[in-house]
Amino acid sequence: MAARFWRIVLAARLLAAGAVGVCAAAFLAAPGAALVAGAAAWMGMSVTLVAVSLVVARRGARSDGSRAAIVMVLRILCLEAMQFELMLFRMAAEPVLAWLDRVAGRPSAPPAQVILVHGIACNRAIWRPLLAALRAAGIERVDAVNLEPPFADIDALAQALLEQIEGLRASGRPVVIVAHSMGGLVARAAARIANPGVIGRIITLGTPHHGTEIACRFGWPSTRQMCRGSPWLLELNGLQEGRLGVPLTSLYSLDDNLIAPATSAAIRGARLIELRGLGHLSLLSAPAVLEGIVAELRN
């Protein structure tokens, strides 16, 4: 379902970029005008989207206004826009990529000791950089799940996650969950209702453990739950903060463009790994993050 959603997004963007290209060609009467204008419009959509999220996330945050700070923001903007493009195509093509993996002899098969859980509106395709890094590090028995539907209630997704874990894990063996963004909240909600010994450890990347202001702007069930101060979050943290029940490591960036404030990813009782200079999607492929996850899984 998420793959279909992103294919629709791709088609809409292609139509919009094509329309801009046609208008440019008509007004400028230059052979290459359509291609240049269309390409600029395509990338402009990603850059604008990331720029708006950066402005919203950093509003009220302290900034010294120095040249170094401005350069870092521009770097985050460019990297995050490129990551968005890569993730967009990967998620839209996830069924095809999964088929190619099977053809190449890399089927996803149980039993798994590490389960990868994506965030809102995403699918398992976002984990391809980490899967490659784990294979290179010799860490096997890793699988990634798809949680459907994309904008569902987090408790419903937690129940679906537990059902998938039972089908993937070795009998009687606890699993380690590595989760991005909302996936970390799904993992925590699952840990709250799971039988003892099912989940042994949770590693989160850019998870809004205390919510994010940006989520308050949307009306989907999961975004309402992720809104800072939501009753759902207050209840979850009231039960788990400082007494999580399973070891939890939270990796997060102080420059995250979707978690506002970025320190929302810090939760009492967890091992905290704080980074700088990375946007929300960049956490999925940055070498420092991939190396950190490999190190955590080896501990």
Tell me if 273 sits within 8 A of 249, measured CB to CB.
yes
Tell me if 204 sits within 8 A of 118, measured CB to CB.
no
| Whole-number pLDDT of residue 116 | 97
| Whole-number pLDDT of residue 110 | 66
Q: 0.85 cut: is pTM over it? A: yes
Q: Is the alpha carbon torsion for 205, 209, 210, 212 positive or negative?
A: positive
Task: Set out the domains of the chain in order of their start, with CATH numbers.
Answer: 2-92 (no CATH), 108-298 (3.40.50.1820)
The encoded tokens of residue 181 equal: 């963004």
The 10 Å Cβ neighbour count of residue 230 is: 16
Tell me if 253 sits within 8 A of 230, measured CB to CB.
no
Tell me if 115 sits within 8 A of 184, measured CB to CB.
no
Crossing angle for the helix pair 33-58 and 2-28, nearest 10 degrees? 130
CA angle, 129 then 133 then 136, to 5°: 140
**Mean pLDDT for each 10-residue chunk of the chain (299 residues)?**
86 86 73 76 87 81 56 89 93 88 68 94 95 92 92 96 91 92 98 94 97 93 96 96 93 94 94 95 96 93
| Whole-number pLDDT of residue 91 | 94
- Ramachandran angles phi, psi of 171, nearest 5°: -55, 125
> Residue 138: CB partners within 8 Å, gap ≥ 6?
none
| Whole-number pLDDT of residue 82 | 93
The encoded tokens of residue 157 equal: 């997704």
| Whole-number pLDDT of residue 64 | 46
Q: Between the CA of residue 286 and those of 25, 250, 274, what are the distances in Å?
A: 39, 15, 13
Q: Are strands 199-205 and 114-117 parallel, antiparallel or unpaired?
A: unpaired
- Spell out the long-range contacts of 161-166 with Cβ–Cβ below 8 A and sequence spacing 24 or more: 161/115, 161/117, 161/186, 161/187, 161/190, 162/190, 162/193, 162/194, 162/198, 164/115, 165/115, 165/190, 165/198, 165/199, 166/198
Beta bridge partners of residue 177, listed in sequence order: 115, 202
| Whole-number pLDDT of residue 172 | 81
